[in-house]
Structure 1
Amino acid sequence: MTLSRTLVIAGFLLSGLALAAVEWAARRPGSRIPTLGDVAALVMRYDVGGLPVGRLAILLFWFWLGWHFLAR
C-alpha cells in the first residue's frame, strides 16, 4: 500500500469519526446542534421554482458516495 492511499484512508476514517462525534453531541439532552437527520430534512425541503434542488443534491451525494466506495 502506498503512502498516499494510506493517508486518504486515514482521512476518510477521521472524517467518519468526526461525523460520529458531532452526531453523538447532537443527541445529548439539551443540545442545540442539529442531528444529521434534521440537516438532511432541511436540505430536502429546499426547492427553487418547484424544482426539488435539495432532493437532487441528496441523490447526487448518494451517487457520488456509491461511485467512490462501491464501483471497482
Structure 2
Amino acid sequence: MTRLLAIGGFTVALLLFAAVEWAARREGSRIPTLGEACAYVMRYEVGNVPVGRIGLFGFWWWVGWHFFAR
C-alpha cells in the first residue's frame, strides 16, 4: 500500500509539473517556464559567490543521492 501511495504521489507531481509547464508556454502567459526559473536562480550571487548555482547543484546532488544511489 505504501509503495502505491508513493507511486501515485510521484505521478500526481509529474502531472502537475507538466500542467504548469504547459500553462507557462501559452501565448501571453505570465508564468515562468522551468528554464526561465532555473536561469533566474542561477544568476543569483552574493558578492562573487554564485549562491544560486551552488544551491541548484546541492539540490540535484540531494535528489540523486536519495533517489538514484541505490
Instruction: Output the TM-score relative to the length of structure 1.
Output: 0.87
Matches within 5 A, 1:1-72: 3-72=1-70
CA distance in 1, matches of 2:31, 2:62: 26
RMSD, aligned α-carbons: 1.1
Q: Deviations over 1:16-52 (max 9, x none)?
A: 1101110001001111111000000000011112211
* Counterpart AA for 1:46: Y
* Counterpart AA for 1:60: G
CA distance in 2, matches of 1:68, 1:16: 18
TM-superposed deviation, 1:68: 2.3
Instruction: Output the TM-score relative to the length of structure 2.
Output: 0.89
* Counterpart AA for 1:48: V
Which region of structure 1 is more displaced relative to structure 2, 56-65 or 31-40? 56-65
CA distance in 1, matches of 2:4, 2:46: 41
- Tell me how many residue pairs correspond in the alignment: 70
Structure 2: gaps of 5 or more residues: none
Structure 1: gaps of 5 or more residues: none
* Counterpart AA for 1:10: G
